[in-house]
Structure 1
């Protein structure tokens, strides 16, 4: 039975699990505390073997060979694991090799985290999926970092986020789930929501897809706001410039938006709660099809920078106000820029990791 469960866990991580298999897996997980612990630890260890920031996955066959070379082939340990074949190689090799690498190399320099915490950093141009100790899943966007304990506290589950992430939280009303990020603290008991809190952007944003969450501003008492599905909460920063003031400044006329100092309350000039929003517009960044809807190029440029790991310089300010709608599916950056230049009055130059955009007045002559 355990080997069957291991196979289901592998399919779950790989994304190839069917709906029926997923139901079977989680019925087994929920059957006992031991199963929950086995599942969460197995998934955590297995995910460590995925190449950070790349699409390549862990090669179980090579891992098994490397592991078997280290073990005495006559030992009981080897005979026991050999019967499980490649599945055993993945889990044991992850435990012996991946776990230490993950815990030490991915903790950024200068970060004062204890050995009981794990930090996942996702570089620009990448995305990552993490399964937390309670089985909750988190999709982490490019240029983001999330830290969480190896084992959650008995009374609460707390993670710290810098950047953007989508949370699918396992329901547990006795142990609320908290996300602490720049300026806000989100409380959930079991729900799906998206948090966007990049230091170089002019806002902090929370989107609720399913369930219910409560949002508090950091260090502000009596400020709890309860959100319901299809609502968007936006906190506009007082100290940051508007959309076009990130890395793609208009000919450097404006300085880059400053990063908010850590441990200092976020200065907010405006709080906005919007209902009946299309949540997929704000969460599809994690999916194969990325939905863009009435997005001004000033904000779109910031997202393109993170998604494709490039620097975008806008030479003409008016380009920032052009709005775009559409769906991108596995397109590379050049394909995206080609479509934008065909459908709107812009031209671009693309050199390695640098993109220059400017207004094209001749666009209307040919249309």
Structure 2
């Protein structure tokens, strides 16, 4: 009689692999399924305890059935041995997320409903795309520009590095009287870009954003104008404040790390501090301003100016290559996806009360993001061309 593989056997298999004592067939199993553990670490949407228990039981039954039926596929590529100990807890519950169409179900809902994504075509994620507009109006595609010097203006050399960053460097005489010239970097929907300003400040621009700045800062202050979203690591300069003007607010710093979220289609402008200190002022009420400490966020619009504690990792998720949702409303989520994937959104039904939590890589196609959201069973999606319809 064929021996039945148990959960304990699977744990022992992982331990043997980690100790380099696994058999050839055991190595094949671990290497094939390792990617599923890796995906789970970032992509599994949050379930309630009851839903997770149901899911764990379902996936355990499926996996053991595959093993006992000897249906495990062979590994097609050599995978470097990895330290699996952080994943033993995952293996213990056997919660696997595959990319081969395994469907999750909520067992407590009637008719054993399966949640689907209607996919006529897929949409690839955004990439490093931006347009540089020089002071004379000339536009340069930074995606197409070759590495090296891109332009030269008023004693400033503008170059593109091998990793695509735009860098400003003074090459003229310090005491020379140069005119105040401005450049603008603009990212379209589906684009992002990183640049280093003349003072050494690093700026990351999210999709559908723009930054206007002088190619040589003034002697008394450093001022830029932002639309959309940008993350700043401001070079320290005790003699000159760094100011960021955006929708309805201004931010003043000497040298620190912070994120500004100020899209025209959002209800609020949000400034989040990660390091150092900043002052945020409302442009609607000149007497209102707040000093932030790390982990705080200023929320500003015409009628409101509040400060609250936030999870900074979920604020700068885009800079680190992820979408992190923390009980975010479906409309907020879809606006983020629309900017990054350059898609249009339609809604069918009243979806105002739908909130989601989870973490997904921004490098995935739109289908993978929507699959994760649809696992809850609360929402469906249809993708046609560059249009996504969200349905109940």
* TM-score interval, normalised by the smaller of the two chains: 0.5 to 0.7
> C-alpha distance in 2, partners of 1:204/1:182?
7
Structure 1 gap segments, 5+ residues each = 1-44, 61-89, 101-113, 238-267, 360-367
Query: Counterpart in 2 of 1:282?
Result: 315
TM-score of the superposed pair, with normalisation by structure 1: 0.59
SS in 2 for 1:127: strand
SS in 2 for 1:154: coil
What number of residue pairs does the alignment pair up? 234
> C-alpha distance in 2, partners of 1:179/1:295?
27
Q: Could you say which structure has the greater relative contact order, defined with CA pairs below 8 angstroms and 6 or more residues apart? A: 2
> C-alpha distance in 2, partners of 1:300/1:346?
13
How far 1:115 moved relative to its partner?
7.2
Note if 1:270 corresponds to 2:317.
Answer: no
> 1:211 aligned to 232, 252, 276, which one?
276
With 329-338 and 134-143 compared, the bigger mean Cα shift is at 329-338
Query: Counterpart in 2 of 1:294?
Result: 327
Equivalent residues of 1:319, 1:358 under 8 A apart:
no
The structure with the largest alpha-carbon Rg is 2
How far 1:337 moved relative to its partner?
1.0
Distance 1:320 1:357, change over 3 A: farther
SS in 1 for 2:364: coil
SS in 2 for 1:185: strand
How far 1:127 moved relative to its partner?
0.6
> C-alpha distance in 1, partners of 2:357/2:231?
23
> C-alpha distance in 1, partners of 2:348/2:332?
15
How far 1:295 moved relative to its partner?
1.6
> C-alpha distance in 1, partners of 2:180/2:187?
20
Higher strand fraction: Structure 1 or Structure 2?
2
Aligned CA-pair RMSD: 2.7
> C-alpha distance in 1, partners of 2:352/2:240?
48
> 1:334 aligned to 367, 371, 384, which one?
367
Structure 2 gap segments, 5+ residues each = 1-133, 160-178
SS in 1 for 2:219: coil
TM-score of the superposed pair, with normalisation by structure 2: 0.55
Note if 1:227 corresponds to 2:260.
Answer: no
Query: Counterpart in 2 of 1:157?
Result: 222
Equivalent residues of 2:247, 2:269 under 8 A apart:
yes
> C-alpha distance in 2, partners of 1:308/1:99?
29
SS in 1 for 2:266: coil
Equivalent residues of 1:298, 1:320 under 8 A apart:
no
Offset from partner CA, 1:205-243 (integer Å, 9 cap, x none)? 0100000000111263332211111001112x4xxxxxx
Equivalent residues of 2:259, 2:271 under 8 A apart:
yes
Query: Counterpart in 1 of 2:255?
Result: 190
> C-alpha distance in 2, partners of 1:325/1:169?
30
